[in-house]
Amino acid sequence: MDEAISLRGVVKRFGEITAVDGLDLAVPAGVCFGLLGPNGAGKSTTMRLLTAQALADEGEIEVLGYELPRESKQSRLEMGVVPQLDNLDVELTCRQILMVFAWLYRVPRGEREQAVERALTIANLGPRADTIVRELSGGMRRRLLVARGLIHQPRLVLLDEPTVGLDPQVRQELWSLIDGLRARGVTVLMSTHYIEEAERLADTVAVMSRGRVIAQGRPAELVREHAGEEVVEVYGPPDALERVLAQAGASGWTSRRSGPAVAIMRAETLDGAAPEGVRRPANLEDAFVTLTGEDIE
């Protein structure tokens, strides 16, 4: 199978709001694929469509070769899902939760204990296997959500904002876990609004805005195509920055406000014409803002 996920012309409306608007997306098997976009871009709705928790109003969806929603039960048995919101039973232990889900995912009775131990090891939760959930830290709970989604050794894992709300150290732990999945050949579809997360983990990134994919490629390719190789950041008081923005507009330079500075893209092409400032390599955030005109919050 060349594609683990295929969406063609998919539309999902909620009343007058079109959350997904003619979405075309193909995720090759065996890669980590990132959906990058701000809140409201349609990422979580796309995830819900792939699990048949929401039904498309138009278009065609296939997951692991199964047609949705007609064959959604079969596809769910072969995929793992890590939701954005923590929906763990706080009165059960890690081991008990994993045993329940091993049963739900039809892991054979004689293999369940081994499956639980394997999932605990992957998520680095072995020492806390018999701890009840309400006594776990936020990072441990996120790792348990991942372990729960891996209990049946799925071919595909959906991660919806996997590190939202976590501190940087815990986020790094989750990144290592996701890296391990990719190394084992599991297809990972990850939605995120963290630029660094997409740049660090994803083999391919699809930038979403207003329910559509507006650009797709390897992170480095997107940066080169849409932001160039180098950016110059000009710092100064607000009136000086307004003059820099006006100069950029008059000169046809691509620019954006970047905190207390103005960032001018493709500085390597300006032949000394750019204002004095701090030069740095272009990054995926530059490309995203250039594509959408939006800052990721």
CATH of the domain at 60: 3.40.50.300
**Is there a single domain that holds both residue 152 and residue 243?**
no
Query: Which structure tokens are listed for 16?
Result: 């007058």
CA distance 120 to 98: 9
* Parallel/antiparallel/unpaired status of strands 156-160 and 187-192: parallel
Q: Are residues 102 and 116 in the same domain?
A: yes
User: Of 256, 265, 191, 190, nearest to 225 (Cα)?
Assistant: 265
From 205, 223, 241, give the residue that closes a domain: 223
Q: Is 191 domain-assigned?
A: yes
**pLDDT for res 37:** 87
pLDDT number for residue 120: 95
Q: How far apart are the first and last CA of the chain?
A: 36
**Whole-angstrom distance, CA of residue 42 vs CA of residue 209:** 7
Structural domain range at position 259: 229-281
- Per DSSP bridges, beta strands 32-36 and 187-192 are parallel
Asked if residue 292 is part of any domain, the answer here is no
| pLDDT value for 68 | 97
Domain identity same for 97 and 26:
yes
What are the pLDDT digits (tens) for 102-122?
999 999 999 999 999 999 998
- 255 and 174 in a common domain: no
Strand partners, 210: none
Does 244 lie in the same domain as 178?
no
Whether 273 is covered by a domain: the verdict is: yes
Q: Say if CB 18 and CB 75 are below 8 A apart.
A: no
Q: How many domains does the chain have?
A: 2
pLDDT tens-digit series, residues 174-206? 888 888 888 888 999 999 888 889 999 999 999
Q: Which two tokens stand for residue 53?
A: 């928790």
Instruction: Tell me the C-alpha distance between 126 and 292, whole Å.
Output: 43
Phi-psi region of 185 (alpha: psi -120 to 50; beta: other; left: phi over 0): left
Residue 250 shares a structural domain with residue 195: no
The answer to whether residues 233 and 161 belong to one domain is no
Q: Which two tokens stand for residue 100?
A: 């329940």
Angle between helices 219-227 and 284-292 (to 10 degrees): 60
pLDDT, position 244: 93
Q: What is the pLDDT of residue 193?
A: 84
Q: Give me the residues of the chain with pLDDT under 50, please.
A: none
Residue 213: what pLDDT?
95
Residue pair 20/12 in contact by the 8 Å Cβ criterion: yes
Q: Is residue 118 part of a domain?
A: yes
Residue 22's pLDDT is what?
96
- Asked if residue 287 belongs to a domain, the reply is no
Residue type, 245: L
- From 276, 281, 283, 292, select the one nearest 244 (Cα to Cα): 276
Q: 251-261: string of b/e by CB count within 10 Å (b at 16+)?
A: eebbbbebeeb
If asked whether residues 195 and 243 sit together in one domain, one would say: no
Q: Which two tokens stand for residue 127?
A: 């020492």
What pTM was computed for the model?
A: 0.89
Shared-domain flag, residues 268 and 142: no
- Same domain for 197 and 265, yes or no, is no
Query: Does residue 23 sit in the same domain as residue 104?
Result: yes
The 3-state DSSP composition of the chain as helix, strand, coil percent (nearest 5) reads 40, 30, 30
